[in-house]
A and B are shown apart, each in its own frame.
Chain A
């Protein structure tokens, strides 16, 4: 019961902040709303016993990435869009209508499908049962999902992990290519 109260409070707050992020007039405000949003999502992860992901969320997203956003926002002077693109009323209307329709659809689906029993087994979904740490995770809050994550990341999911490192290299080279005026 208590869990449900916390969850719904968080859910409402996260959604509300998400809307604030995209509707705030000033870009700096948007970013600040985003920080709070990220922090609340981290709380959600803690509730799911995923402490490692929660810590990473705070460190990497709320800490690192948002600071980068702030830098970009402050370095790039954001001027008003040229007049010919500015027909805010019409764009807003079509956008709102479409978004509203999709939202209704998704909500309807969620409402109609809720109460269908427990979701598919998440235990061992990451292959946790195969790891030598299968005995942890029994306690409500003290799980060792860091070890479990590390284990599957460096065994079963080693190849995607390595490909991700190439992906990051591409992104890095790309940033250099696009940022340097003359190579």
Chain B
């Protein structure tokens, strides 16, 4: 074997290899067994489960492979699990939706799996090149998925908008990365941290920092880089929207945490200010814009923008505790957000698009289980105990206070209160209004499974969060030393 690459690398790449193989098999099965949609569905579920098992198998490993391009550590494992669980739930909520929209699911599942593959590399990349390739694989899959409903003009618009703005933001991100490479002479995050360890500043470095923040800000839909999100979320097929708002956000946060905490800890003072402003503006604008929405998907889009602002608090704190809090929040966020989108996807019938708030009216009378589930998701998104959302918020709040960002914590709490209004509106429509529209709502077994997973997740981590906290703390530990020294300096 040549330098920098060993047989062990293949062993540690097992999850990625399994996922790639499974994705390719889905394509083959689609050709061999046409018109049998259960086959591709089953293959996708099997692939994701096996990949998930392989990822769990590497718990406790802490090593870098392939000449330091990829890290297999607790942090990567944590985010890989987030991505795989959300992919599983997305696939589960897809079949009934795709049937109503009358599109063939073969390539759809392939693209979902490829987006997942890209995210796995974003979670474990510790080199700008790996991170970028992972990001691009994810992004290209999403450009196509957003426009998967070809007859729908909204879907086409979403795809084109996401593609154009996405390509533009990737250009900005790449420019930032290339400047960083120019200054430090290396693309490895550890190497960058070493080259900048002296604390020497230059204007070029500041420019690189700003470009990086802007490029990544687009991916997590932070204000002022959020303009695309509501339109894309509204137009894309609902399961894709769910996946986009959860997994792509989580993977981008993994990349942000890696780049800034591991690669640029010596510039922490600079990017903390940038992210402070970004977090405050993002949650405020997201929440205020969500107040007036009458379309559930748009409302959830703005709510997801606001949540990106909350999670940024963990990064602003820039401590072990802050990173752990951001990770905890991202983990509980997948259940509540995916669950809410699953209910919206379920409302799509032949005669109803189902994404307006009024389509939710009378849901309690028709599908009590779905209504109760949606109630739990809304309470969790709003941060009401005993749901998981409350625990996540509590940790973020604690991290902000601990690092001395009292004002940010205050803005955070005020925003949480504002957000309760529009989550409450959803509950009002479901329980207090009883005029129902359209035909009966059907809930298939796959959709029911997705909802059950989401409900269990939203409640379990609310009443028994210890397990999650321990894992997040363990995974965030590796950032600890790098940042606490900078904070003291």
- Is B a genuine binding partner of A? yes
Residues of A at the B interface (CB closer than 8 Å) are 105-106, 108-110, 112-113, 116, 119-122, 125, 127, 130, 154-160, 163-164, 166-167, 169-171, 173-174, 176-178, 181, 183
Please determine whether B147 and A109 come into contact, CB atoms closer than 8 angstroms.
Answer: no
In addition to A158-B66, A167-B133, 12 A-B residue pairs with Cβ atoms within 8 Å of each other are A106-B207, A112-B203, A119-B185, A125-B181, A155-B2, A156-B67, A163-B118, A170-B137, A170-B140, A170-B141, A171-B140, A176-B107
- Is B130 an interface residue, CB under 8 A from the partner? yes
State how many angstroms separate the Cβ of B249 from the closest Cβ of chain A: 20
B186 is an interface residue with CB less than 8 A from chain A:
yes
A174 touches B13 (CB 8 A): no
List, in ascending order, chain A residues with CB within 8 A of B117's CB.
163, 166
B184 interfacial contact with A, CB 8 Å = yes
Partner of A177, one of B4, B134, B148, B181: B148
Cβ-based interface call for B3 (8 A)? yes
The 4 closest A-B pairs by CB, nearest first: A120-B185, A174-B144, A156-B4, A109-B203
A160 and B133 contact, Cβ closer than 8 Å, known pairs A120-B195, A170-B114: yes
B277 beta carbon closer than 8 Å to chain A: no
- A125: chain B residues at CB < 8 Å are 181, 185-186
Known: A155-B2, A158-B66, A183-B104. A113 touches B133 (CB 8 A): no
23 A-B residue pairings within 8 Å (CB atoms) = A109-B203, A116-B202, A120-B183, A120-B184, A121-B185, A155-B2, A156-B3, A156-B5, A156-B69, A157-B69, A159-B9, A159-B13, A159-B66, A159-B70, A160-B130, A163-B118, A163-B134, A164-B133, A166-B20, A170-B144, A173-B144, A177-B111, A183-B107
Binary flags per residue of B136-167, CB closer than 8 Å to A gives 1, else 0: 11001101100110100000000100000000
User: How far, in Å, is A46 (CB) from chain B's closest CB?
Assistant: 19
B110 in the interface (beta carbon within 8 A): yes
B459 vs chain A, min Cβ distance (A): 36
User: Is the C-beta of B129 less than 8 angstroms from some C-beta in chain A?
Assistant: yes
Which of B129, B144, B181 has a CB less than 8 Å from the CB of A178? B144
B414 sits at the interface (CB 8 A) = no
Residue in A120, A163, A170, A181 with the greatest tally of chain B CB atoms within 10 Å: A170
Among candidates A112, A173, A174, residue contacting B143 with C-beta atoms closer than 8 Å: A174
**Complex formed: what's the CA distance from A179 to B207 in Å?**
40
Candidates B2, B27, B183; contact of A173 at CB < 8 Å? B27
How many residues of B sit at the interface, in one of the four size bands?
35 or more
Is B199 located at the chain interface by the 8 A CB criterion?
no
A174 contacts B111, C-beta separation under 8 Å? yes
Cβ contact within 8 Å between B121 and A113: no
Residue picked from A108, A110, A177, most chain B C-beta under 10 Å:
A177
CB proximity of A111 to chain B, nearest CB, Å: 9
What's the least CB distance linking A71 to chain B, in Å?
Answer: 19
Nearest to A175 among chain B residues (CB) is: B144
B144 to chain A, nearest CB (A): 4
Interchain CB contact under 8 A, A119 and B182: yes
- Asked if A174 and B203 make an inter-chain contact with CB atoms under 8 angstroms apart, the answer reads no
Choice from A156, A163, A177 contacting B133 with Cβ under 8 Å: A163
Q: Cβ of A173 and Cβ of B111 under 8 Å apart?
A: yes
Q: How far is the CB of B371 from chain A (nearest CB, A)?
A: 35
A121-B185, A160-B133, A167-B133 given as contacts; is B203 within 8 A of A173 (CB)?
no
- Given A125-B186, A173-B107, residue A155 in contact with residue B5 (CB < 8 A): yes
A170 in contact with B111 (CB, 8 Å)? yes
- The yes or no answer to B204 lying at the interface (CB within 8 A) is yes
Q: Which A residue's beta carbon lies closest to that of B184?
A: A120
Q: Closest chain A residue to B181 by CB distance?
A: A125
In the complex the two chains form, is A158's CB within 8 Å of B5's CB? Answer: yes
Interface contact A109-B130, CB-CB below 8 Å: no
Residue of B nearest to A114 (CB): B204
Cα A154 to Cα B147 with chains together (Å) = 35
Tell me, rounded to whole Å, the shortest Cβ–Cβ distance linking B202 to chain A.
6
Distance between Cα atoms of A42 and B169 in the complex (Å): 25
B134 / chain A contacts, CB cutoff of 8 Å: 163
A-side contacts of B110, CB under 8 Å: 173
Residues on the B chain within 8 Å of A163, using CB? 117-118, 121, 130, 133-134, 137
A157 touches B129 (CB 8 A): yes
Q: Which residues B154-206 have CB closer than 8 A to chain A?
A: 159, 181-186, 195, 202-204, 206
**Contacts A120-B185, A156-B4, A160-B69; A109 near B207 (Cβ below 8 A):** yes
A181 to B150, CA, bound (A): 8
Contact of B204 among A109, A164, A167, A183 (CB under 8 A): A109
Minimum CB–CB distance from A155 to chain B (whole Å) comes to: 4
Distance, CA A149 to CA B67, complexed state (A): 16
Residues of B contacting A159 in the complex (Cβ-Cβ under 8 angstroms): 9, 13, 66, 69-70, 130
Residues of A within 8 A of B159 (CB): 178
Q: How far is the CB of B198 from chain A (nearest CB, A)?
A: 13
